[in-house]
Amino acid sequence: MITTYAIITIFLVSIIVNFNLVQALAYTVHYDVKEYRITKIPTVCAIKPNDSQSSEDRIKRMMAETSYAVGEWKVKLQGGQDRKTMQLWDINYLEKNSENDDISMCDVVIQFFRKPTSPDLLLKALGTTRYEPSTSQSFIDIFYLQIILCQKSDNYYVYTFPCYGNDMTTTNQIGTTVRHEFGHALGLGHFYSDDPDVTYQWSKTGADAPSIMVPFDYNNPSLIHIQTIDIEKIHSIYGPNGFLTFSKQVTEGKDADSSKSPTLVVIPSLTIYTNPSYQFGDHLSITFEVSELTGDPITFQIVDESGKKSQPISIQITKLKTEITAPGQFDSTIYKPGTYHIDAEYSGTKASVIFTLTDSGKIVIPQWIKNLGRWWSEGTISDKDFASGIQYMIKEKIIKIPIEQKSSEKKEVQIPQWIKNNAGWWAKDLISDSDFAQGLQYLVRTGIITV
């Protein structure tokens, strides 16, 4: 779209003079468009930087501002729409804790760097966006070191020049840069005038810039906002089918007459909730919330910090909100303390949530060991077999229990009946791991089981 603005100054002179003045001060505005397009409900992943030179608080604020900036695009694109149309402009946002995290499910990846590595971008670029055709992903790089004025002098002059400081720039500037670069990821080019002086003034003066896509510098980020013209431009690019306009599902539904509207296939939204932290002995609880029931199952995996994934788990849902709780506890034979992702997919929509697992020192016996206790309490295996199994698990630290000083006297393996009763109760969840561990401790202390 090309919009023509005219700065008209009225003088009490002839009409011909006024006409010539308007012509002399007229300028044309251009709003460029990129070639690439979002082809589905996008998942945006922001990767938390590993920067020991910046405080954790500043990094948290930068990540929060990034989430808010992406969220503002979503809110404004969905503004004034009915419920079903709003889904077509949905944007999923995930925060990744490491650059080593899996980003294959991310359509837009936001990364943070102290400053550019390319000499051509030093002191010139606050952010860049590039599209990778092989993966259909956009990569946004945000450079967050503050640009300041430095000085040096010789015997005759003092020179002032821009340079990078040691501190992170303001969250306001980071947010503005993210909004601008995310506009590029959506397919927007720059908003500019054919008069360079006008474009320059938009980035310098005290008035709000007419578009978030105005090329700007570090002087006035607070004056650059997502404007109505930006939202209208996105709506005009994608049309009434939103981000699904260029998806395979929609384009395959077109009639032979390409002038007709494509068949709309609504991809539902998916949101995942879980507790932010767990300890060994806790049960994982997950809530899945979807906007539509499509008949498809939700498939999810648990991913650790190294990128290792669990086997995919599929659950069939019959409600818009589904809560599940894992039957087994977190235990150290399967999980290690650290940060985990739950990555899920439902009818073409992907979502993820993060939780941490910590070791509080609580006595936790793996769920699968209860089979051993049940078999022994029922007489399926002997005292000796049970003792050998427990001895092995203590030596291998599968079972971690506090071991007191034990007798060195060797005894025949004959376990008291009350401990066998405990094993049966424990297998039926009638007593806790700690209670059962006290019985095992007794076996070690009295020398029935030697370690």
Q: Are residues 338 and 377 in the same domain?
A: no
Give tens-digit pLDDT for 276-303: 999 988 899 999 988 778 788 999 999 9
Q: What is the 3-state secondary structure (H, E, C) of 171-183?
A: HHHHHHHHHHHHH
Q: Are strands 283-290 and 321-329 parallel, antiparallel or unpaired?
A: antiparallel
Q: Is residue 430 assigned to a domain?
A: yes
Q: Are residues 226 and 309 in the same domain?
A: no
Q: Is residue 260 assigned to a domain?
A: no
CB 399 within 8 A of CB 365: yes
Q: Are residues 98 and 166 in the same domain?
A: yes
Q: Are residues 127 and 180 in the same domain?
A: yes
Q: Give me the helix-helix angle, 171-186 and 56-78, nearest 10°.
A: 40
Give tens-digit pLDDT for 193-221: 888 777 777 766 566 788 999 886 645 66
Q: Are residues 119 and 232 in the same domain?
A: yes
Q: Are residues 381 and 416 in the same domain?
A: yes
Q: Is residue 145 assigned to a domain?
A: yes
Q: Is residue 263 assigned to a domain?
A: no
- Residue appearing with tokens 């925060």: 95
Q: Structurally, how many domains does the chain consist of?
A: 3
Last-in-domain residue among 303, 337, 358? 358
Q: Is residue 254 assigned to a domain?
A: no
Mean pLDDT computed over every residue of the chain: 80
Q: Are residues 187 and 278 in the same domain?
A: no
CB 255 within 8 A of CB 282: no
More confident residue, 94 or 405: 94
The CATH number for 80's domain is 3.40.390.10
Q: Are residues 372 and 352 in the same domain?
A: no
Q: Are residues 167 and 235 in the same domain?
A: yes
Give tens-digit pLDDT for 216-271: 664 566 678 899 999 999 999 998 889 988 875 544 444 434 444 444 445 677 88
Q: Is residue 76 assigned to a domain?
A: yes
Distance (Å, rounded) from C-alpha 436 to C-alpha 420?
10
- pLDDT in the model for residue 158: 85
Q: Are residues 386 and 331 in the same domain?
A: no
Q: Are residues 161 and 104 in the same domain?
A: yes
Q: Is residue 18 assigned to a domain?
A: yes
Res 123 pLDDT > 60: yes
Distance (Å, rounded) from C-alpha 300 to C-alpha 209?
44
Last-in-domain residue among 326, 358, 390? 358
Least confident of 176-185, 315-324, 363-372, 423-432: 363-372
Distance (Å, rounded) from C-alpha 53 to C-alpha 32?
38
Q: Are residues 41 and 108 in the same domain?
A: yes
More confident residue, 27 or 252: 27
Last-in-domain residue among 331, 358, 385? 358
Res 333 pLDDT > 80: no
The domain of 420 spans 367-445
Q: Mean of the pLDDT values across residues 135-145?
A: 93
